[in-house]
Amino acid sequence: MPKGPKAPKTWYATSALFSLAVGTFYLAGALPFIDAGILAAQFTIFGRPATFGPLIATIVTATAVCLVYALVRRTGRNPSPLRRQGDAVRHRQTMMNGAVDNSSDGILLLDEIGVVVDANPAAKQMLGAGARDDGAQTLVGRHIGSLIPDATALMAHPDSGAAPVPGIRRREMVAQRLDESTFPVEITMRELSNDGGTWQIAYVRDITDRKAHHEALEHQALHDALTGLPNRTLLYERMHDCRRRARRTGDRFAVLVVDLNRFKEINDTLGHHIGDLVLQQIASRLTKLLRSSDMIARLGGDEFAILLSPVLDRFAVTNLSERLKTALDAPLLCKGLTLDVNASVGAAIFPDDGTDMTELIQKADVAMYVAKNAGLPMAFYDEDQDHHSARHLTLMSLTGELGRAIEREELELHYQPKISIPTNEVIGVESLVRWRHPVYGFVPADEFVAVAEHTGLIHNLTEWALRSSFEQCARWRAAGIDLTLSVNLSAKTLQDNDLPQLIENLLDGYGVEPKRLILEFTEGAITADTERCRANIVRLAEYGLKISIDDFGTGYSSLACLKALPVHELKIDTSFVRDMVDDEDHQTIVRSTIDLAHNLGLTASAEGVESVETLALLAVMGCDTAQGYYIGMPLPVSDFEDWLRARQAPTEVPRPVACIS
């Protein structure tokens, strides 16, 4: 306890004088007795009376009495050490009781079997008993198990003879309020023993906010911020769970990779905010098609993955794919805009296509690319097609090397001759890009062109191919070699608004006549974005260039589209021409295409001519031009020039050797 203020020195003087006066009057009445005592003491000590006499003895005695009185008064104002220690103990006890009462954690005092003996206000409030003084009475007598069911696991059970749980007995549990509502808590149990017995003290902390914060962070780590769908990490966790369950039960599950078609065009044309709305709507539509045991996740960009668990067979996967297509075929409404979006889907099945989770995703991705390249809505993984697709995925990692190969002009052009069927005269060539990689060797054009389209290198690749082709055409013209030059351009290139200006600059730069150039586009490229493609084709045709539709018959061109565009040539796809001698259906397709071209005022050209019989059939059908291995293989420029010089003058056109019905 704190000491009182120190008494001033004047107090002692006043007390001494007052005491002296009181003592003097007091002793006056007792003087005879005191004198007698003093005389007796003198005779005892000295053998005779002292010379100072009774008066001095009286004064000395009174002074002693005053000193004793002052000491008693001072002792009364300053407690003894024992008293101070007792006050300090009582003070600490009061402070401790205040700390317990004001603690934000609930504190429950339990007897040895777990029955509540007392509770602090926080425990009353937390467990729904209220913070009033009578709140504890609502809890007193209840077993801790009725409030926190799992708390008994932290206690020793006298009836079982079990020892207390060693160490810090702390655990997260679920508590139940008196109204039976539940909430998460962290409970710490300690044992306390004294002369009165053994007690348990339970410290209970409400961790509702902490749990909510943790769950929010966990959700953020495992879900896509834009769509709210699970991300790749959570997908892999669920796939591992499915694999463990499948190994116990023998069930199968499927992984589908869904990739939106032409989504980049939406972002580039309408902006990323519209693209984000599209992704959110797509995610909502796909989620509604799934069962509670399935999962859809966003892998990134416009690519999603669907986990179907369990599945019986491929038919179940095909059925879902059809429902996905139906859901995506419905137009999307975004900020007043109506958008059409479709997708390509690839599927892989556990354990048929693999047992490793990463492998399954990769194989589903391979199947998706097969579907996209074939123009199909959905494809299953096929090991026979994996070599091409796996090579494509490997080449995706060589993007940097492809870019450097373009910059250093390490690519080369090969030229394949094209003849006039009626005259058998070489009238032109088609330039084809080739890349010989130092590790992978010869890389087919369709593979690295796909890489260029996917990575944004297609513009650089197209500019290099056009510049090299125009330069060669100018050289041949200067050398007196009069040939038309056909150049293949991808669908991405046809949608590039800068394409017409690029070609115009190259025409002027190399002095090439536009009529000597034929630009070839696939059928699918023309139908990919009709308005933009039509505008570019019209501008190119106005320059005097000729437009050819390559691989005709494999896409979905309509007659109205062909009639509206300034197209000059239809090239019949190799797949129909190569087998037409032995396949009457292919003969019918080829003949119909030739007739269609002529009826539209276009030139009919066949590629893939590999035999004299095929060339003869084309002549009978009235096809205009042809190219193929029978006529000449694609060759480097020097070899092609040697081949061209060695070729004899046009000879008689071969007669058909097959009966055409």
Q: What pLDDT is recorded for position 392?
A: 54
Local confidence band at 17 (pLDDT 50, 70, 90 cut-offs): low
Q: What pLDDT is recorded for position 569?
A: 92
Does the domain spanning 412-644 belong to CATH 3.40.50.10680?
no
State the Cα–Cα distance between residues 297 and 228, nearest whole angstrom: 9
Regarding the domain delimited by 223-396, which CATH topology (the fold level of the hierarchy) does it fall under?
A: Alpha-Beta Plaits (3.30.70)
Longest dimension (CA), the chain: 181
Q: What pLDDT is recorded for position 19?
A: 53
CA-only gyration radius of the chain, Å: 51
CATH topology agreement for domains 101-210 and 223-396: no
Question: Are the beta carbons of 590 and 571 closer than 8 angstroms?
Answer: no
Tokens 């996917």 label which residue?
Answer: 454
Q: What is the mean pLDDT of residues 279-285?
A: 92
Local confidence band at 259 (pLDDT 50, 70, 90 cut-offs): very high
Local confidence band at 329 (pLDDT 50, 70, 90 cut-offs): confident
Instruction: Name the residue with higher pLDDT: 618 or 497.
Output: 618
Local confidence band at 521 (pLDDT 50, 70, 90 cut-offs): confident
Q: How many CB atoms are located within 10 Å of the residue 529 CB?
A: 17
**H/E stretch holding 322:** helix 314-329
**H/E stretch holding 21:** helix 9-45
Token reading at 565:
């565009």
Task: Read off the pLDDT of residues 200-228 as tens digits, 9 standing for 90 and up.
Answer: 889 999 999 888 888 888 888 889 989 99
User: CB neighbours of 478 closer than 8 A, spacing ≥ 6?
Assistant: none
DSSP characters for 610-647?
Answer: -SHHHHHHHHHHT--EEESTTT---EEHHHHHHHHHHS
Instruction: Name the residue with higher pLDDT: 342 or 304.
Output: 304
H helix runs in 46-80, sequence order: 53-77
State the Cα–Cα distance between residues 301 and 365, nearest whole angstrom: 14
Residue among 605, 541, 540, 596 at smallest CA distance from 570: 605
**Do you find a cis peptide bond into 500, omega within 30 degrees of 0?**
no
Regarding the domain delimited by 101-210, which CATH topology (the fold level of the hierarchy) does it fall under?
A: Beta-Lactamase (3.30.450)
State the Cα–Cα distance between residues 617 and 626, nearest whole angstrom: 12
Task: Read off the pLDDT of residues 26-85 as tens digits, 9 standing for 90 and up.
Answer: 455 555 555 556 555 555 555 555 555 555 555 656 666 666 666 656 555 555 666 666
Each domain of the chain, given as residue ranges in start order, spans 9-78, 101-210, 223-396, 412-644
Instruction: Name the residue with higher pLDDT: 117 or 158.
Output: 117
Q: What pLDDT is recorded for position 491?
A: 76
Q: What is the mean pLDDT of residues 306-323?
A: 90
Residue among 484, 637, 510, 631 at smallest CA distance from 568: 484
Q: What pLDDT is recorded for position 372?
A: 85
Token reading at 412:
């080369």
Q: What pLDDT is recorded for position 530?
A: 60
Question: Are the beta carbons of 451 and 445 closer than 8 angstroms?
Answer: no
Q: What pLDDT is recorded for position 4?
A: 44
136-150, 359-373, 598-612: which has the highest mean pLDDT? 598-612
Q: What is the mean pLDDT of residues 427-456?
A: 79
Side chain identity at residue 343, one-letter code: A
Task: Read off the pLDDT of residues 147-170 as tens digits, 9 standing for 90 and up.
Answer: 998 888 887 654 444 444 444 578
Residue among 509, 511, 589 at smallest CA distance from 553: 589
Residue among 354, 343, 350 at smallest CA distance from 320: 343
Q: What is the mean pLDDT of residues 595-601?
A: 91
